[in-house]
Amino acid sequence: MATAAEKSKEKTKAKQRYLRRKKERRKHRPKTLAASGDVTESNDASDEGGEASPSQDEDLEKPAVQQVVIETGEDTTKRPKKRKKTANEELEDVEMVAVENISRQLDESTKLLEPHPPPDALPSFPLPALPDAPSKSALALQGLDKALVDAEIVDPTIVLPIPDGEDDDGTMLSERTRKRLKDVGITELFAVQTRLLPFLLPRDPFQKALYQPYDPPRDVCVSAPTGSGKTLAYVLPIIEILSSRIVTRLRALIVLPTRDLVTQVRETFEALGKGRGLQIGTATGQQSFAHEQSQLVADKSSQLKGGSSRIDVLICTPGRLMDHLHGTPNFSLQHLRFLVIDEADRLLAQSFQDWLAQVLAATRPPPRALSEQTSEHKNLSLPIADAVAPAFLHTLPYPVVPTFPTESRDSSCQKLLFSATLTRDPGKIASLELRNPKYFVVQESKKEGVLDVVMERFSMPSTLTERMIVCESSQKPLIFFHLVHAHNVTNALLFTKSAESTTRLVRLFDFFEKARAQHAMAGAVQEIVVRAYSSDLPANERKAILEKFKAQEIQILVCSDLISRGIDISHVSHVVSYDVPVDMRKYVHRVGRTARAGRAGDAWTLVEEQEARYFKGILREADHLDKVKRLRVGEKELAPLIPDYETALGQLKEAYAR
């Protein structure tokens, strides 16, 4: 109520000020009105009086009304009749309210502006300023796994000779394995192997045990350039540790993105594990499911808690692994001592049936409380021809023997991740559920270590020479033919962007080689054989082509990025990117098919003029632009090839028209 009274008081004040001003004006006006005798004007005057509310302002209004009445000569005893407001009057009402509002606001703001007494000491604040933008590298390191930040950087030039005799000289390899390595022509360990072997094969025999449920091993992530020997870095420790086993169980699982890689890694296991009694199996879907099942498990008839296995090592693709995990009775991953994910970044990008989460779940023991509550414990039926891993013992239908209260048994599975382009994605790394991981990054010391991995500045083999040839799109085939002949290329892989452009190029090259042979004197030129190698070909045909290429019966393989990862063909001297790769990872894996294991190699990229900016951008981003020099091919050099090239083009046109 008090506030209402205050409000009305304020209102009255404003109104009074307004009316006072009006009165002032009026003091002068009646005389003028009287002189003119204008009745309408007088009405105006009375109208003005009508602006005030009759109850409040009657006294103030009266003189004006009386004055008008005198002048018009009407009866003064009669009170003037109350009239209806005209439109003008209503307008003035609105004006009045507006004036009231404004004056009220003015009053309030003057109160605010009134000077306050200054405080004793004024606080001082820094002037507002924009903070410095964090550097790109600082941003890249944000949110990263601490283990990745603390990665061990390994110098790629380090080698460790493999000694004969009893002393392993720090290689940690048994005499038997060292002898086997020598037999296959390996006399020293490469950088990545010199660090990985002591880590995975420490002197402590407990750490080499098949099961380590109370002190499970640390997981490992490795980033090392293409062709630097990552495969042996996991094959050798697996052979060394599993060779001590007595019963065959599935103890090592190696997951790879393609069938070709599965075959390749199997060959490495077989070559180095020869005579060690380890059973190696593969699952890629190339054989029937039933056939694969019979090779993987020994007993399909009963439900064994410990699983059943015919093999010690399984090398597979993720899709087929899922099929066996769901559809093969007694196929169990509980005994795994090693889970290797090679080409890890590529496999982590494949969410196929959520394969990783399912594999990890299969290696983990189920929660204790859950299995202890199951009814199985109540109906004991001994004995059971079964053997479960130590971490899974509580799943057996026997009463749990209480041990030390804090005792917990963990899976002994050690995860090993490898790639030349290891992922930096924290989300993907988290999905691996790594246990106290240790990172190894193989790269030159002048680089920035883990920051390079994080910023996708991948290391390349030091023996690789890279060139780019910027040209018009229509000139690409001719330039490729020129490069092949000018540089005597006899072992090259050529990458295109699509199967269609592969087929076209192979045919054109065939016609060109034939025209060239016809031109030259008989026997003067050696025809170069080019073949397409794509995922469309049946598996056995692909295998046959690869064999011919390895035997150098085929000189150039034109392929898609299917082959760009991991494939190890030692004699590839040149890699040609006929179409620019879509990103730096693809580029790294393509060019990495040459310059392997310390050999020299050349990589050429044909860049169409309109793509040059984009391609250079990719290289610049990876801090690699200065490594890829420009190679210029002039008209003069191409001129001698033009007649045969035109003949070949004509024949290709005809072939497509048919």
- For the bound state, the minimum distance from the C-beta of residue 420 to ligand ATP, rounded and expressed in Å, comes to 4
Site membership for ligand ATP, residue 177 (CB under 6 A):
no
Q: Extract the tokens encoding 346.
A: 């590529």
Beta bridge partners of 531: 557
Site membership for ligand ATP, residue 592 (CB under 6 A):
yes
* Kind plus residue range of the DSSP H or E element containing 417: strand 414-419
- Closer of 231 and 317 to ligand ATP (Cβ): 231
Site membership for ligand ATP, residue 566 (CB under 6 A):
yes
Whose tokens are 């924290």? That residue is: 426
Whose tokens are 């073949």? That residue is: 531
- List own/partner pairs for 98-107 with CB under 8 A and 24 or more apart: 99/14, 99/18, 100/11, 100/14, 100/15, 100/18, 103/14, 103/17, 104/10, 104/11, 104/14, 107/10
Site membership for ligand ATP, residue 226 (CB under 6 A):
yes
The correct pick among 190, 440, 511, 645 for binding ligand ATP (CB under 6 A) is: 190
The correct pick among 180, 195, 208, 230 for binding ligand ATP (CB under 6 A) is: 230
- Closer of 188 and 547 to ligand ATP (Cβ): 188
* Among the residue ranges 25-33, 125-133, 187-195, 474-482, the one whose residues contact ligand ATP (CB under 6 A): 187-195
Preceding peptide of 225 cis, ω within 30°: no
- For the bound state, the minimum distance from the C-beta of residue 566 to ligand ATP, rounded and expressed in Å, comes to 4
Burial class (CB in 10 A: 0-12, 13-18, 19+), 292: buried
- For the bound state, the minimum distance from the C-beta of residue 602 to ligand ATP, rounded and expressed in Å, comes to 17
Strands 530-533 and 492-495: unpaired
Number of residues that bind ligand ATP (CB under 6 A): 20
- For the bound state, the minimum distance from the C-beta of residue 250 to ligand ATP, rounded and expressed in Å, comes to 23
| Pattern 521-560, ligand ATP, x by CB under 6 A | ----------------------------------------
- For the bound state, the minimum distance from the C-beta of residue 527 to ligand ATP, rounded and expressed in Å, comes to 29
For residue 426, what are the CA distances in angstroms to 145, 217, 431?
A: 7, 22, 9
**Within positions 397 to 456, which residues make up the interface with ligand ATP, using CB under 6 A?**
420
- Closer of 189 and 618 to ligand ATP (Cβ): 189
Site membership for ligand ATP, residue 189 (CB under 6 A):
yes
The correct pick among 228, 330, 371, 605 for binding ligand ATP (CB under 6 A) is: 228
CA separation for the pair 624, 541 (Å, rounded): 37
* Among the residue ranges 41-49, 137-145, 227-235, 494-502, the one whose residues contact ligand ATP (CB under 6 A): 227-235
CA separation for the pair 152, 303 (Å, rounded): 45
Site membership for ligand ATP, residue 596 (CB under 6 A):
yes
The correct pick among 570, 617, 643, 655 for binding ligand ATP (CB under 6 A) is: 570
The correct pick among 568, 595, 605, 645 for binding ligand ATP (CB under 6 A) is: 568
The correct pick among 153, 172, 201, 232 for binding ligand ATP (CB under 6 A) is: 232
* Among the residue ranges 189-197, 329-337, 379-387, 422-430, the one whose residues contact ligand ATP (CB under 6 A): 189-197
Q: Extract the tokens encoding 39.
A: 């009745």
Q: Are 244 and 210 in contact (CB under 8 A)?
A: yes
- Closer of 417 and 479 to ligand ATP (Cβ): 417
Strand order in the sheet with 601-608: 530-533, 556-559, 492-495, 574-577, 601-608, 464-471, 628-630
- For the bound state, the minimum distance from the C-beta of residue 186 to ligand ATP, rounded and expressed in Å, comes to 4
The correct pick among 14, 148, 154, 186 for binding ligand ATP (CB under 6 A) is: 186
CA separation for the pair 528, 506 (Å, rounded): 11
Helix residue ranges, H only, 2-86: 2-36, 39-50, 54-72
User: DSSP assignment, residue 537?
Assistant: S
Q: Which residues bind ligand ATP (CB under 6 A)?
A: 186, 188-190, 193, 224, 226-232, 420, 566, 568, 570, 592, 596-597
